[in-house]
Amino acid sequence: MCVGVTALIRWDRDPVLWVIRGALYTVVAVAFIAVQRRRARNAAGTDSRGLAELGRGIRHREVPDDPEKRAAMRRLVDDQLERLERGARWLPYWLGFMGLIAAAVLALGVATGSVLFPLVFALGTAGFCCWILWMRRRTMERLHYMRSALREEHEHVS
């Protein structure tokens, strides 16, 4: 999407270059998502359909009745919480780096007299950072809820 917006702004370049760039970025994004899904499938010990069902159950805060699915969900929740907690160490640095880039682009825009695009970029970056923090907090709440619900369910079964 960013490649398309940039292509509209910088229309003086060859359109084939934008198509190639967009395809390359898409391939990289799809590969990254495929690796993440494979890790999640391996952590949960299930297939793609089972992973989708477990993800839906986590989003809707539904504890499965089947003991195998409960165990798979417990493994998936533990894996996702571990990843989020491990990533929390670097999150302030990434957000700070993104803010620094946005401030630098804004400063360059003010210095060159072109303020509109840098301002839109800075506001977009700030919005993106806020969205990341909101989604992380929401995901952590869901995963902690599911961890406690799965433990309670496990204690009732035992």
Query: Which residue would you say has higher pLDDT here, 18 or 155?
Result: 18
Encode pLDDT of 62-73 as tens digits: 999 889 999 999
Of 67 and 22, more confident: 67
pLDDT at 158: 56
**Predicted pLDDT of residue 25:** 85
- Going by C-beta distance under 8 Å and a sequence separation of 6 or more, which residues neighbour residue 140? 81, 84
Residues in Cβ contact with 108 at an 8 Å cutoff, skipping those fewer than 6 apart: 118
Q: pLDDT grade, residue 3 (50/70/90)? A: low
Q: What share of the chain is helix, strand, coil (3-state, %, to 5)?
A: 85, 0, 15
pLDDT exceeds cutoff 90 at 140: yes
pLDDT of 87 > 70? The answer is yes
Q: What is the pLDDT of residues 115-130, one digit of tens each?
A: 888 899 999 999 999 9
pLDDT of 15 > 90? The answer is no
Residue 98, pLDDT > 90, answer: yes
Q: How far is CA 88 from the centre of its chain?
A: 13
